Amino acid sequence: NAGVMQNPRHLVRRRGQEARLRCSPMKGHSHVYWYRQLPEEGLKFMVYLQKENIIDESGMPKERFSAEFPKEGPSILRIQQVVRGDSAAYFCASSQQGQPNSPLHFGNGTRLTVT
Amino acid sequence: AQKITQTQPGMFVQEKEAVTLDCTYDTSDPSYGLFWYKQPSSGEMIFLIYQGSYDQQNATEGRYSLNFQKARKSANLVISASQLGDSAMYFCAMREAPSGGSYIPTFGRGTSLIVHP
């Protein structure tokens, strides 16, 4: 499967635990984006990364959230000390370039539920 | 201010008929890209069609076409010959780079399309 791979598909965490969401971009794509989607809403941008670099994290909450895209391996979105308000679908997308004509290709998302 | 506005929260169409989903956008960047995505009930986001700000012709992809009116800043999606499988949420998105920053895609709130048999 050459598409964007996200895992796990569903993740349940208790309040205060850590959540780790993984994303492997499409082959040949070096630009990775993370979005959050709440029920009945559109996608909200969180962070944009290229290999080993955070390019734009203007949508990331200042605390508890972090993201990385190491030289080897998938991109990781990490949420520490989760709260109920973190429950959402988290989508990863990748593109071949960062230019306006380069579409994003999405993974199937990770549905995070905080109990 | 909203960068992408989709004014139709829900739309209904009869199978085999055409339907137009509205999208207006706001940008001062001369170089931008417009995209439409489909999100069926299974949850994945499927890329449908792209229109560049400098493109002279409207984009088409099979049964999808984009009615691009640059002066009115609108990029409506037209689905011809609707099928039951077209029932889904549809999101309009824009990539722009204000102030020379990164081209971060921004999404509208979506339109729910239901196709009736």
B28-51: per-residue pLDDT in tens? 888 899 999 999 999 899 999 999
Tell me if chain A has a CB within 8 Å of the CB of B35.
yes
Q: Does the beta-carbon distance from B43 to A89 stay under 8 Å?
A: yes
Query: Is residue B60 predicted with pLDDT exceeding 90?
Result: yes
pLDDT digits (tens, 9 = 90+) for A7-62: 999 999 999 999 999 999 999 899 999 999 988 778 999 999 998 899 999 999 99
Strand ranges inside chain B, DSSP E: 4-5, 10-14, 19-21, 24-25, 33-39, 46-52, 60-61, 64-69, 74-79, 88-96, 104-107, 111-116
Q: Is the backbone peptide bond immediately before B40 cis, with ω within 30 degrees of 0?
A: no
pLDDT at B102: 77
pLDDT at B98: 65
Tell me if chain B has a CB within 8 Å of the CB of A69.
no
Once rounded to an integer, what is the mean pLDDT over residues B66-70? Answer: 96
When mean pLDDT is compared over A99-113, B62-76, B102-116, the highest value belongs to B62-76
Query: Is residue B1 predicted with pLDDT exceeding 70?
Result: no
Query: Is residue B52 predicted with pLDDT exceeding 90?
Result: yes
> Encoding tokens for residue A75?
């991109």
**Measured between CB atoms, which of B32, B43, B107 is closest to A100?**
B32
pLDDT at A40: 75
| pLDDT grade for A102, boundaries at 50, 70 and 90 | confident
- Closest approach of B82 to chain A, Cα-based (Å): 23
**What is the average pLDDT score of chain B?**
93
pLDDT at B99: 61
**What is the average pLDDT score of chain A?**
93
| pLDDT grade for B96, boundaries at 50, 70 and 90 | confident
Q: In chain A, whose CA is at the least distance from the CA of B109?
A: A42
